[in-house]
């Protein structure tokens, strides 16, 4: 996400990842043997010579359901840089929920000049990200009425508040000839601003209904409507709850946490709860450098990239819990998957420690043939890992209450991708292999709190920013979006590496052994190597690259009812001349790999959280941080209102015909 940009200029990202092999090294050897890629040792770009048959191609062919399902038929749009949203012909897009929109009958409208924490706590939060649609009544498959659950990843105070950025005197005093990293502007938060930011984080749960005219509306007097923020009480549950590292001066139990932070990609469970991933929590904490260099806590925090000095946000000036010199254990209480019951507004959110602690992206749930539930998630960092959690217990479709604590017991696995297209899920269990007390893992809690270090110890494969991780409902495969890795060096590659300085990212297709999502082995292949086909170094599942839409930085992914993959991007303008957007691509059949751009966003924004209604006639998407790169006083976007400031917004896309999105029935 934009807090970790491609060159890392917004935070210190240390190269402290594990000793497992890099994905580029593995793919280089594997593809080179097939004779499918050609190049020289000095080439940093990969050249694909043509379509290829995958080792599991036979199993990847369309199922009968896919063969008879709706196919994509829209005409792709072109890359665009305007400050307005665009969608493929035959569709309309409507801004639906904007930052600051009231969610309750008595909630105030957004007043940019008079923002308060109390008001924000009743309004739609900032920087909408993942979206979940849960039909009403609960357990039904209706597409006209439901709960919309939306993550709010972080805040852009420079876009929210006039005058937030002030000139830096040190930068003004620097001579033009001096080489300096001194920023031109400095943050100037007040406690009142920080309090608004705290309430703008978290999630929104909103009842929505589609009218007879086909227009979506918020039900403002709904009993379900709820804001969950950075000040909402939560509990830590599972194997790590109560561990010493989770205890603070404010919570001697190690089980009570105030709020959730940096909620990025998430997922829904078969029992209709949601899991929200806490991603870049490290940015909120300051003064790691004030801990002793030999302090084990400092080493643990360093592996997660916590800030050595003052944080960018400066929340530590007002709240001690964000100052590591005063509350060194507080960051251990973030970086979890948070389970929330949207159908019970009085319920307490639970941070499920069995899922491990990292920079969580995606929490796709799927029921395995044996009844266990598998949850796939990525750790969004260069050279970090892909994970799967499998419950010990089985899902009971007839007893929702029996499923509510399934996520507290199970096995957490980390992925290792082998040269020959096979892979294994390595269990992270205390006492097994390298995960011993002698190596710093005295308990299962130690593994779950320091999951990255456990992945290092077992030699998992270092990946290029593992983000969303979704299962295809038709072909049963699993797809992993890897956004990019500009820091992969040439020395980590050979003549056929896919890719040194991987600016564009790629998508991997995984086939679990026996189509069993509880399996511990899998087959894998490259599905897409993103980028501009005109520049080479791309691959689109064997489809003619001259016909596809160029795209870069795949982020969130979703599937329609036909098994077509829809992907949103985060970082297109850094590499291609266009705003971030939404793209669709078949995963099977004759058009497998045919990427088409469906939607284009606005300057500074990423697109995230694509979510279909069950009948595929409405598609919700988040336009996150529009105008990023500018400021309130010097904007680069004023979307969607055309005045004031840009506002992060959930949009809804519908076909003019009222039929399924992007398709002809």
Task: Tell me the DSSP string of 188-236.
Answer: ---HHHHHHHHHHSEEEEEEEEE-TTS-EEE-TT-SS-EEE-TTSEEEE
Q: Is the pLDDT of residue 16 over 90?
A: no
- State yes or no: pLDDT of 61 exceeds 70: no
User: For residue 537, what pLDDT is reported?
Assistant: 85
Contact 500, 488 (CB under 8 A): yes
Within 8 A by CB and 6+ apart from 590, the residues are none
Strands 618-624 and 606-612: antiparallel
Cβ neighbours for 526, distance < 8 A, ≥ 6 positions apart: 27, 31, 498, 506, 507, 508, 509, 539
- Name the residue with tokens 């008079």: 114
Both tokens of residue 415? 């992925």
The string of DSSP codes covering 449-495 is HTHHHHHHHHTPPBEE-EEEEEE-TTT--EEEEE--BTT--GGG--T
pLDDT of residue 637: 98
Q: Is the pLDDT score of 74 beyond 90?
A: yes
- Per the CB < 8 A criterion, the answer to whether 257 and 281 are in contact is no
User: Could you tell me the sign of the dihedral formed by the alpha carbons of 435, 438, 444, 446, in that order?
Assistant: negative
Four-way CATH pick for 23-279+335-664: 3.40.50.620, 3.40.50.720, 2.120.10.30, 2.60.120.200: 2.120.10.30
> What local confidence, expressed as pLDDT, does residue 665 receive?
56
Query: Whole-model pTM?
Result: 0.91
Reduce the DSSP state of residue 437 to 3 states and report it.
helix
Pairing verdict, β 565-569 and 165-167? unpaired
| DSSP code of residue 18 | -
Q: Treating both helix axes as pointing N-terminal to C-terminal, what angle do 451-458 and 296-303 enclose, rounded to 10 degrees?
A: 80
Residue 63, SS3 per DSSP? coil
Instruction: Identify the pLDDT of residue 181.
Output: 74
What was the pLDDT predicted at 501?
A: 86
365 Cβ contact list (under 8 Å, min separation 6): 267, 268, 269, 270, 275, 373, 374, 375
Q: pLDDT, tens digit, for every residue of 192-208?
A: 999 999 999 999 999 99
The span from the CA of 205 to the CA of 274, in Å, is 11
Burial of 56 (0-12, 13-18, 19+ CB in 10 A): middle
pLDDT tens-digit readout, 438-485: 999 999 999 999 999 999 999 999 999 999 999 999 999 999 999 988
Are the CB atoms for 56 and 567 separated by under 8 Å? no
How far apart CA 121 and CA 133 sit, in angstroms, is 22
**What pLDDT, on a 0 to 100 scale, did the predictor assign at position 172?**
76
pLDDT for the residue numbered 536: 80
- Residue 314: phi, psi to the nearest 5? 65, 25
pLDDT attached to residue 530: 94
pLDDT at 57: 29
Give the mean pLDDT of 160-168. 93
Q: How far apart are CA 449 and CA 447, in angstroms?
A: 6
Q: Are 276 and 337 in contact (CB under 8 A)?
A: yes
Please give the mean pLDDT across all residues of the chain. 89
Identify the residue with better confidence: 171 or 370. Answer: 370
- CA–CA distances in Å: residue 579 to residues 80, 146, 456, 538, 548: 6, 31, 36, 20, 17
Q: What is the pLDDT of residue 488?
A: 72
Higher pLDDT, 312 or 39: 312
Backbone angles phi, psi at 507, to 5 degrees: -130, 135
d(CA 580, CA 634): 21
Question: 20-31, pLDDT tens digit by residue?
Answer: 555 444 544 444
Report the candidate in 403, 385, 283, 399 with the shortest Cα–Cα distance to residue 341. Answer: 403
Q: Tell me the pairing of strands 596-600 and 86-87.
A: antiparallel
Encoded tokens for 287: 């003064």
Q: What is the pLDDT of residue 250?
A: 96
The residues near 632 (Cβ < 8 Å, ≥ 6 apart) are: 158, 159, 160, 161, 162, 163, 164, 645
pLDDT recorded at residue 14: 36
- Write the DSSP symbol of residue 12: -
CB neighbour list of residue 366: distance below 8 Å, 6 or more residues apart: 373, 374, 376, 471, 517
Bridge partners (DSSP) listed for residue 337: 277, 352
CA angle 405, 411, 414 (to 5 degrees): 130
Give residue 40's pLDDT band: very low, low, confident or very high (50, 70, 90): very low
- Per the CB < 8 A criterion, the answer to whether 605 and 630 are in contact is no
The confidence band for 42, taking pLDDT boundaries of 50, 70 and 90, is very low
In the prediction, which pLDDT does 22 show?
52
Q: Which of 491, 499, 565 is nearest to 530 (CA)?
A: 499
- The residue ranking higher by pLDDT, 52 or 532, is 532
What is the distance between the alpha carbons of residues 537 and 501, in angstroms, rounded to a whole number?
12
Full strand arrangement of the beta sheet holding 554-559: 86-87, 596-600, 581-585, 565-569, 554-559
pLDDT in tens, 637-648: 999 999 999 999
Rounded Cα gap, residues 272 and 288, in angstroms: 39
Query: Smallest Cα–Cα separation from 237: which of 375, 144, 339?
Result: 339
140 φ, ψ (degrees, to nearest 5)? -90, 180
Is 132's pLDDT higher than 90? yes
- What are the angstrom distances between the C-alpha of 548 and each of 60, 545, 573, 606? 21, 5, 18, 21
pLDDT tens by residue, 172-190: 777 665 556 788 889 999 9
- Between CA 513 and CA 518 the distance in angstroms is 9
Segment 254-268 shows an average pLDDT of: 97
């Amino acid at each position: 996400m934009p807090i970790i940009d491609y060159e890392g200029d917004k935070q210190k990202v240390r190269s402290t990842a594990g000793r497992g092999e890099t994905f580029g090294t593995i793919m280089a050897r594997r593809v080179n043997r097939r004779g499918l890629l050609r190049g020289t040792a000095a080439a940093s770009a990969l050249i694909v010579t043509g379509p290829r048959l995958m080792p599991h191609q036979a199993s990847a062919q369309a199922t009968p359901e896919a063969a008879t399902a709706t196919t994509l038929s829209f005409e792709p749009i072109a890359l665009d840089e305007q400050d307005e949203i665009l969608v493929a012909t035959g569709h309309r897009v409507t801004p639906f929920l904007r930052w600051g929109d009231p969610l309750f009958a008595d909630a105030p409208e957004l007043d940019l000049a008079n923002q308060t924490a109390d008001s924000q706590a009743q309004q739609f939060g900032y920087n909408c990200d993942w979206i979940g649609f849960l039909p009403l009544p609960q357990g039904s498959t209706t597409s006209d009425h439901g709960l919309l659950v939306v993550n709010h990843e972080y805040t852009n105070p420079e876009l929210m508040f006039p005058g937030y950025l002030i000139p830096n005197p040190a930068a003004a005093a620097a001579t033009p000839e001096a080489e300096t990293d001194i920023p031109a502007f400095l943050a100037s938060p007040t406690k009142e601003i920080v309090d608004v930011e705290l309430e703008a984080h978290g999630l929104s749960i909103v009842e929505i209904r589609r009218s007879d005219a086909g227009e979506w509306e918020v039900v403002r007097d709904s009993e379900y409507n709820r804001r969950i923020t950075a000040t909402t009480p939560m509990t830590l549950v599972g194997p790590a709850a109560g561990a010493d590292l989770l205890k603070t001066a404010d919570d001697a139990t190690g089980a009570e946490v105030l709020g959730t932070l940096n909620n990025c990609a998430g997922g829904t469970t078969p029992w209709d709860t949601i899991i929200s991933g806490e991603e870049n929590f490290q940015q909120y904490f300051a003064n790691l450098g004030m801990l002793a260099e030999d302090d084990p806590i400092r080493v643990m925090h360093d592996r997660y990239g916590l800030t050595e000095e003052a944080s960018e946000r400066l929340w530590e000036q007002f709240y001690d819990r964000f100052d590591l010199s005063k509350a060194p254990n507080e960051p251990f209480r973030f970086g979890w998957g948070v389970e929330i019951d949207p159908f019970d507004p009085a319920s307490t959110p639970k941070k499920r420690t069995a899922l491990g602690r990292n920079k969580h992206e995606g929490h796709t749930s799927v029921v395995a043939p044996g009844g266990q539930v598998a949850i796939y998630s990525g750790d969004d960092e260069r050279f970090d890992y892909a994970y799967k959690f499998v419950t010990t217990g089985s899902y009971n479709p007839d007893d929702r209450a029996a499923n509510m604590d399934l996520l507290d017991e199970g096995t957490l696995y980390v992925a290792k991708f082998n040269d020959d297209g096979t892979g294994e899920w390595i269990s992270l269990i205390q006492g097994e292999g390298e995960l011993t007390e002698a190596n710093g893992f005295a308990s299962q809690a130690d593994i779950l709190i320091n999951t990255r270090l456990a992945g290092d110890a077992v030699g998992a494969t270092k990946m290029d920013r593992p983000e969303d991780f979704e299962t295809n409902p038709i072909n049963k495969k699993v797809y992993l979006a890897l956004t990019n890795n500009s820091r992969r060096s040439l020395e980590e590659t050979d003549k056929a590496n896919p890719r040194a300085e991987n600016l564009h990212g790629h998508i991997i297709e995984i086939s679990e052994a026996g189509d069993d999502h509880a399996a511990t082995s899998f087959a894998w292949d490259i599905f897409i190597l993103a980028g501009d086909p005109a520049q080479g170094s791309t691959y689109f599942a064997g489809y003619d690259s001259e016909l596809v839409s160029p795209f870069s930085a795949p982020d969130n992914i979703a599937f329609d009812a036909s098994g077509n993959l829809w992907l949103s991007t985060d970082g297109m303008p850094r590499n291609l001349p266009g705003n971030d957007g939404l793209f669709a691509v078949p995963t099977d059949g004759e058009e497998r790999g045919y990427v088409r751009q469906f939607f284009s966003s606005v300057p500074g924004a990423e697109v995230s959280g694509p979510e279909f209604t069950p009948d595929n006639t409405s598609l919700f998407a988040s336009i996150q941080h529009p105008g990023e790169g500018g400021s309130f006083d010097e904007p680069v976007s004023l979307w969607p209102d055309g005045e004031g400031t840009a506002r992060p917004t959930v949009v809804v896309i519908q076909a003019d015909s009222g039929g399924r999105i992007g398709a002809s029935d």
